[in-house]
Chains A and B, each alone.
Chain A
């Protein structure tokens, strides 16, 4: 899952980015409204954290512009705590609103919930056959037994689970699992996929040569 943080407070953005990265998210940061909007428009993020008081372009107009082209889930993260601000934020197309200072665990839970809901999944437990994903604790069980996955393996599997029944291209998978700073070889994806097949069952992921990957419903 790939997340964009648009926040001009570098120290805050840094702490949130680190926390989310440790949760296995791929995180990009933009420090002003202009570059934040550009990144949000050019890349497919699973969620965006948006501050309102931003240099060069404030959060309201970023949201406004973004909604003309994209439905990416947006969580407004701001020091503005007035009811008016919350209402305006949600009415303008934000999906959630969190007031600073916030609890990091709550922020994580809200991001997970945003991503889940945008994928049309209400529960934090995802099932495919005898494989069970708990997206809250980031654990996987097969036939009731815990399976250990590396963070990246988990991210790949989780993304495919979220888009179950959909053909996911390799490019798309790359985009959602790696942030812009990570440089990877394309065959690394084949390694993850084969590891996942080994750990979760041969038929868990279907490969369509030259097209992408798929978890059947």
Chain B
């Protein structure tokens, strides 16, 4: 605790306070002292000059008479006591010519001067024809007075210091208390209970803002941790079923010797489960990479319509299996992006549209230009999605129907990956659906330019059937694209 802010604060406070009070006291004391001593000097000087003049004026009279007259004139020299002032006059030859009282032993100063002799303050002034007059005053009272002042100053200084320190300790404690509260709460939060928060109500001013900032940081942290742990739980949950298929099938099959067709059947089941695990793991890996931001997207000029057509051609066999007809229509806008990833977007969307369709249904991909954006709508005539599921559709591992996706062979991550790809291209994806009538997924991507072949006006209005061969000539115009720098 010796390094705590409170002690440091107090330490500096002490240094500054001692300096200030000490300097103030010293200045006050010395000013007072000078003032008092000047008064003494002035007084004895006045007296000495007056005595010298009087002595001069009465030079002819006897010294005793002059002295007596002077003590009459200045009663301070009269009276009893060894500490009363005195005066002495020396003649030119250095002999004492004038003295306020008998028995004084004062060394001859020899010149005009001030001097301090023991407890005595003396002044010597010169008169005419080489005479010197000295007046001495006992400084005992003055010194006692000064030392009294000094004690008072020291005492009150110490008292002020003590009071200020006490106050300082108290106030620094009060100021630092919220910090203690914040740090205690913060350490409890980071320790175990992420749901706890710092009580901002009790914390005023700048510290209140600090607490608020910390709270919102904890909010984000909690959200991330919850997301992460839910993600991990979901992932392990998703993997449980295929793992149990592999285990149960293998254990059952290996229990005894079997015929070849039985082994084949079991291996096929194991293979299906393994493929499912692979698709889950691939999806997880893709999303983990996306989360960590370690994915670099290519920046090619991509002909959106071309990507759509290629995707539809690839999915034709799957569509055939489900007796679903695929088609695409629209202009041929260019976008900047990663061709493979955009292909993945449409592969995911169209695969879903085929799988959740009725036999004899259709899937249409319609490309439209919409100001600064290009829209691609994947419209199916399938089973649709109930309203309550729509907001969660792009969440990882979200299942509209536990069994439906599983039967269709999805990993539960396809739409989450799709959303990530679209958003990392600066686009957005939305869905509208009516249960039993079908769904429409709309992908919006920023447009950079467009290529218009001469015949496009006619061409884009005709739906291009993709069953069998592509009957539409793929008119591709190679022309330099102006990249927005």
Residue positions of A touching B, CB distance < 8 A: 8-9, 11-12, 14-16, 18-19, 22, 32, 53-55, 58, 79-81, 99-105
Contacts and interface: CB of A to CB of B under 8 A. Distances in A.
B contacts with A: majority SS? helix
Given A79-B241, A104-B248, A9 B255 contact: no
A104 B251 contact: yes
Contact of A12 (B248, B253, B401, B407): B248
Given A11-B273, A14-B269, A101-B243, A19 B404 contact: no
Contacts of A102: 244, 247-248
A100 to B, nearest CB: 4
A11 B269 CA distance: 6
Contact of A19 (B255, B269, B273): B255
Nearest to B247: A101
28 contacts: A8-B402, A8-B403, A8-B406, A9-B241, A9-B245, A11-B272, A12-B244, A12-B248, A14-B249, A15-B249, A15-B251, A15-B252, A15-B266, A18-B252, A22-B256, A53-B403, A54-B403, A55-B401, A79-B241, A81-B237, A99-B240, A101-B243, A101-B246, A101-B248, A102-B248, A104-B247, A104-B251, A104-B252
Contact of A53 (B243, B248, B269, B402): B402
Return the 5 tightest CB-CB contacts between A and B, nearest first: A55-B403, A53-B402, A101-B244, A79-B240, A15-B248
Contact of B237 (A18, A19, A80): A80
Contacts of A16: 248, 252
Given A55-B401, A55-B403, A104-B248, A12 B255 contact: no
B251 A12 contact: no
B408 to A, nearest CB: 12
Given A55-B402, A58-B402, A101-B247, A15 B240 contact: no
Given A11-B273, A19-B248, A19-B252, A101 B403 contact: no
Given A9-B406, A53-B402, A58-B402, A15 B245 contact: yes
Contacts of B255: 19, 22
A18 B252 CA distance: 7
Given A22-B255, A79-B237, A100-B244, A11 B403 contact: no
Given A19-B251, A101-B240, 10 more contacts: A8-B403, A11-B245, A11-B269, A54-B402, A54-B403, A79-B237, A80-B237, A100-B241, A101-B247, A102-B248
Nearest to B273: A11
Nearest to A18: B252
A103 B248 CA distance: 7
Contacts of B241: 9, 12, 79, 100
A80 B241 CA distance: 10
A22 B253 CA distance: 11
Contacts of A54: 402-403
A9 B409 CA distance: 11
Nearest to A53: B402
Contacts of A11: 245, 249, 269, 272-273
Interface string B299-342: 00000000000000000000000000000000000000000000
Contacts of B243: 100-101
